[in-house]
Structure 1
């Protein structure tokens, strides 16, 4: 494997690079917004379309499932053929799927639309990471990922607030449709800019450039079997225990995929995933950290929004606004840490995870102990500290994870990390949300019941966050000692 900076795409002016980057991060923000803003839309969707627990879980986690299935094959196609073309295909599909969701007449059609959105997001997101790898090298890449992390952090945290405002503007019956309508004009505008500004020329892998269709199929089956039982977990009495048999399929297809890929490479072919990537400690450990981190964070935001909205009776706008401090502080520290990742390396990530853990511990304490009228303010204080930490996790970890990956494999390498994040999201949401609803079912949906359910669900999420902390600390002490960052 070679250093990634050695293969950066030449010939782009500074202005052209940053214009293309702006298009990429704007579309990435739209993609991530659709993960977080839907949280405040769940109660009105349930009331408007008569959605049951399974359909509502599919609307949240089914998006992540479809997202995860397409990431690696789309990243591989982008590396082999054209990242720009794949980006345009994904963005066009995302815009169409958003229109579908906005017009959905019933819960079943909305679920289908959300799955289509996830497929489209899985096509376009690997191209974003691959293009950033392609456009920037060295310290400039760290700054670019710093801005990228800031935008992603803002999108994750501001999504519930934006969702609450749109629902309030559209009314309780159909306000949730504005969550999807907003993507349509923005998607069309971004599509026009992408056609004009994204680079059409890129370095491509040497040697065999055939597409490993068998490997793609086996990988898809592996990811599907792993994620599906968690997507179908609601914590309600209707959960079928037989769903866990899908994990047997995960083990079988995962073994077949590994065997096939190793044999495929021995024949001189180019596999879907080059397992030599995992020999890079920076890539392997960064992927583990991101997987655990993204298992905890979306679940934490979802439970907090549900608790403030349903348990405490505040409006969707208030439920969303508690995360504004997280958005602001994470944006600042993402920008700051992106400029210092070469200096501090993985220490930044470890400190960041610790800050997130402390911040969200305060959020939980505030939620269950502070007097009712002060709860949103107290939660916002915890979110402030959590955001300071979060900005030191996402962008530095992304920079470090991809620092030694060749640019010609930037799309597929970024896709592997994104698969980990989407699998983590599905598992984390399932664990935390099912804990929340199971406790609520046992205690009753009164104020005390909601407090117990929220505390239990958040304890599960914070436990997962501790796993990310363990990986980050091990990374500093053992695995990346004296390793170059770029």
Structure 2
């Protein structure tokens, strides 16, 4: 075989492995958004209460976040392929258990297992992309990855609504989980055939640092729990915010322990040199703020459309289709250009995204109620173009200076920032939404109360997206001062 033919075969194998990775990432992210539209059906079919419904959504996110960094670290030290296969197998099995769950308690337990499996496999995705591609090709790969993530996040409500419409109010929610079973099995076969067995490694100390893992896990749990337990209702216990103090203490203890552990010549859970890299640190901040805004928007929009305007789950979910398609287009176009435009591309994307959100806020007050879904869909399509220029390019810039040997743990920190952002953003937006409802229902018509609730929640979402823009502008300024993009 000629060198050219061999190179072409290697190129095809790399992109096939990439397709497996992003396909599984798509399944994982879909479960963060598509289940939201199934909550009313779950409440009816299994008699789930508010706390149980919260556990189905928040429990997945919490366990997902807890297993990300250990999963990334294990993948870097052992085999990303093996961890990917284990995580995917568990995710598929847990999805099956969710689909056949006879009671709400079984569903919650299966959902937690599903979140743990997602946290185990997702760091391997970004680690493998780092391993498979370098230079401009990596920008193209992360551009495609960003398109898939954008599509998954935005299409989740539409897919969930369609499945519930097909299965009916009583059992449609089961299809949300049945969907993962055949797709997960196909992906598992493809992973065993296509993912690379060899893994580049670097010399140096190795080990898992059990105490570091415990301290980090405790800090994540304490920092996330207050937000995940926030519903906006009167039953929220204000004492939950004291957990933030515990989280801060544990996080400080983790940093001090990691420094000591590294000085002893051992390998810490997280090399703090990563955090000291401006490209990595600033990219994580931008990603955290961005993902605080996006899932929050889709959640409060779905609540407003279903509860305030009495749309079906399918109709409410379909409003995000324009965003999904535009986001995919933005990601596809921005991927090859990130090496040339750098952080300026992310800044421009965030400006367009915020403009789309602001347009949505304006239109819901100007158009008749019957036209609100169409107006919102149009504004979100504009926002989607900007959003597509954020996820992939920001991922590329964030990981641009990370050694391949640390790609898994670095990717897990990026993902952890996104999960933390999601938890904080959803808590802020939903508590704002329900807070307005609790004050206004009865004093005004329900339709007006829901419009006010959505409007104020959307202002919160715009504020979160603006934080991402500020962080991007600061990073752009530092890059200009350093003579880089």
Match of 1:434 in 2: 431
Alpha-carbon distance, 1:11 to partner: 12
Match of 2:19 in 1: 22
Match of 1:3 in 2: none
- Equivalent residue in structure 2 for 1:56, among 48, 53, 56: 53
C-alpha distance in 2, partners of 1:454/1:182?
Answer: 31
8 Å CA contact 1:53, 1:236 repeated in 2: no
C-alpha distance in 2, partners of 1:36/1:251?
Answer: 29
- Equivalent residue in structure 1 for 2:220, among 220, 223, 235: 223
Match of 2:320 in 1: 323
- Equivalent residue in structure 2 for 1:339, among 317, 330, 336: 336
Alignment of 1:198-347 (within 5 A): 198-347=195-344
145-154 or 356-365: bigger deviation: 356-365
Superimposed CA distance per residue, residues 333-388 of structure 1 (whole angstroms, 9 cap, x where no aligned partner) = 10110010011000010111111111112223333442111111100111111100
Structure 2-normalised TM-score?
0.96
C-alpha distance in 2, partners of 1:61/1:459?
Answer: 23
Match of 2:387 in 1: 390
Match of 1:461 in 2: 461
Are 1:98 and 2:100 matched, yes or no?
A: no
- Please report the RMSD computed on the Cα atoms of aligned residues, expressed in angstroms: 1.5
Superimposed CA distance per residue, residues 108-138 of structure 1 (whole angstroms, 9 cap, x where no aligned partner) = 3222222211111100000000000000000
C-alpha distance in 1, partners of 2:364/2:157?
Answer: 17
Alignment of 1:35-46 (within 5 A): 35-46=32-43
Q: How many residues of Structure 1 are paired with residues of Structure 2 in the alignment?
A: 476
C-alpha distance in 2, partners of 1:367/1:35?
Answer: 26
C-alpha distance in 2, partners of 1:12/1:210?
Answer: 36
C-alpha distance in 2, partners of 1:247/1:152?
Answer: 29
Match of 2:164 in 1: 167
- Equivalent residue in structure 1 for 2:363, among 363, 366, 371: 366
Match of 1:194 in 2: 191
C-alpha distance in 2, partners of 1:215/1:349?
Answer: 34
8 Å CA contact 1:356, 1:385 repeated in 2: yes
Name structure 2 gaps, 5 residues minimum. 1-6
8 Å CA contact 1:432, 1:458 repeated in 2: yes
Match of 1:381 in 2: 378
Match of 1:447 in 2: 447
Match of 1:154 in 2: 151
Alignment of 1:47-86 (within 5 A): 47-86=44-83
Structure 1-normalised TM-score?
0.95
Change (3 A) 1:437 1:428: same
Helix, strand or coil for the counterpart of 2:200?
Answer: coil
C-alpha distance in 2, partners of 1:440/1:374?
Answer: 22
8 Å CA contact 1:61, 1:425 repeated in 2: no
Alpha-carbon distance, 1:479 to partner: 4.1
